[in-house]
């Protein structure tokens, strides 16, 4: 697609429920990143993929968080047994992965605002 698409835009869930957040990167972008951004804060790294391989998951807060990108395109971030502290904007980004600007010239999606009540 023309941009990075994330769905849903807003998600309200009850504490203890599982949620799945979806990211559809720009067509052809090999690198896909998940960040979390709290209000008034900068984005916080969660994990990233090159193609279907998860290269770094060091930012995932705990084992309730997982991510996959099985065919090297669409990615899903799953949060199990949600807690109120998980409430934040979850942002996906992609990049071409080619050249220096390709690595870091992230195009961010509009994000998914997750609220755990």
Partner 1 sequence: QKEVEQNSGPLSVPEGAIASLNCTYSDRGSQSFFWYRQYSGKSPELIMSIYSNGDKEDGRFTAQLNKASQYVSLLIRDSQPSDSATYLCAVNPLGGSQGNLIFGKGTKLSVKP
Residues forming contacts to partner 1 in the complex (CB under 8 A) are 31, 33, 40-45, 47-48, 50, 55-56, 58-59, 91, 100-101, 103-111
Residue length of the chain: 117
Question: Could you tell me the end-to-end alpha-carbon distance of the chain, in angstroms, rounded to an integer?
Answer: 33
Cβ-defined contacts of 57-64 (< 8 Å, 24+): none
**Shortest CB 72 distance to partner 1, Å:** 15
Q: How far is the CB of 79 from partner 1 (least distance, A)?
A: 20
Closest CB to partner 1 among residues 41, 115: 41
Residues contacting 102, CB < 8 A, separation 6+ = 95, 96
Which is closer to partner 1, CB of 18 or CB of 56?
56
Cβ-contact 25, 3 below 8 angstroms: no
Compute the least distance from the CB of residue 1 to partner 1, in Å.
Answer: 15
Of the pair 11, 91, the CB lying nearest partner 1 is at 91
Which of 13, 35, 16, 11 lies closest to 83, judged by CA? 16
Residue in this structure with the two tokens 């930012």, named with its chain if needed: 59
* Least Cβ distance, residue 2 to partner 1 (angstroms): 14
Please say which residue, 66 or 110, places its beta carbon nearer to partner 1. 110
């Amino acid at each position: 697609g023309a941009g990075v698409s994330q769905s849903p835009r807003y998600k309200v869930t009850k504490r203890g429920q599982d949620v799945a957040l979806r990211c559809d990167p720009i067509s052809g972008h090999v690198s896909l990143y998940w960040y979390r951004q709290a209000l008034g804060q900068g984005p916080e790294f969660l994990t990233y993929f090159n193609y279907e391989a998860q290269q770094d998951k060091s930012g995932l807060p705990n084992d309730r968080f997982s991510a996959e990108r099985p065919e090297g395109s669409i990615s899903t971030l799953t949060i199990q047994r949600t807690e109120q502290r998980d409430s934040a904007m979850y942002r996906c980004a992609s990049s071409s992965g080619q050249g220096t600007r390709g690595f870091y010239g992230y195009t961010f999606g509009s994000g998914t605002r997750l609220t755990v009540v």
